[in-house]
Amino acid sequence: ETGVTQTPRHLVMGMTNKKSLKCEQHLGHNAMYWYKQSAKKPLELMFVYNFKEQTENNSVPSRFSPECPNSSHLFLHLHTLQPEDSALYLCASSQDVRGGSVTDTQYFGPGTRLTVL
Amino acid sequence: DQQVKQNSPSLSVQEGRISILNCDYTNSMFDYFLWYKKYPAEGPTFLISISSIKDKNEDGRFTVFLNKSAKHLSLHIVPSQPGDSAVYFCAASPRIGNQFYFGTGTSLTVIP
């Protein structure tokens, strides 16, 4: 148990559906992240939020829409996804985002396994 | 272009022996390095880290070595145990900035 929870753990959706992934951290951290992990590829950073403000968007298609209402919660809203978006979506949190520091250590949730039909 | 590479997708080691997992990086601005361990159906779990001001960090059975001139780090597990069987990811962070760059992982199997 890392202190980061994600729901749902598994999700199957059609290309026309709208769904949301939820992440919650109980570590008192200020930064939260969304990653995508596809088979045989490194973790790809999607979004970074620091103190509820988005600080990074790694050229993610607009069919993925993040929301961070407070430092403890992070959502990823999904709409009109493509089959190639099927992957494991991981949420993480860290104390800070200053870079090159122990406060950067990220703690991950268990992930949501997404399948787009 | 991948800035962090783990060239061995898998490794098998006998229980009690040493496991050595390797990681190479290309960006000289990387300042902080971590190893994560991942079991199936779980998220990566932080294992051990090292800052570029050090060349070694030890935590129990786990030791991470950093060779800055070679842009190489390695994770040593001694002695290896069957419960260590998992996928191990290395990650690197630059001196400034909030992005971690991950390798593709090495799947370690410790044979009883």
A97-109 tens-digit pLDDT: 766 666 778 899 9
A107-116, B48-57, B60-69, B92-101: segment of lowest average pLDDT: B92-101
Mean pLDDT taken over chain B: 93
- Report H helices in B16-84: none
* A69-73, A98-102, B71-75: which is most confident: B71-75
Q: Which residue has the higher pLDDT, B100 or B87?
A: B87
| pLDDT given at position A101 | 67
pLDDT (0 to 100) of residue A99: 65
Cα(B60)–Cα(A40) distance, integer angstroms: 30
Q: What are phi and psi of A103, to 5 degrees?
A: -70, -10
Residue B102 with chain A: CB contacts under 8 Å: 42-43
**What is the rounded CA–CA span in Å between residue B26 and residue B90?**
13
Q: Which of residues 37-96 of B touch A (CB under 8 A)?
A: 41-46, 49, 51-52, 89, 91, 93-96
Using omega within 30 degrees of 0 as the cis cutoff, is the peptide bond preceding A8 cis? yes
The identity of residue B76, as a single letter, is H
Cβ contacts of B69 within 8 Å, gap of 6 or more:
none
Q: Does residue A51 surpass a pLDDT of 90? A: no
Q: Which letter, b or e, does each residue of A39-61 get, where b requires 16 or more Cβ atoms within 10 Å of its Cβ? A: eeebbebbbbbbeeeeebeeebe
- Residue B56 CB neighbour total at 10 angstroms: 10
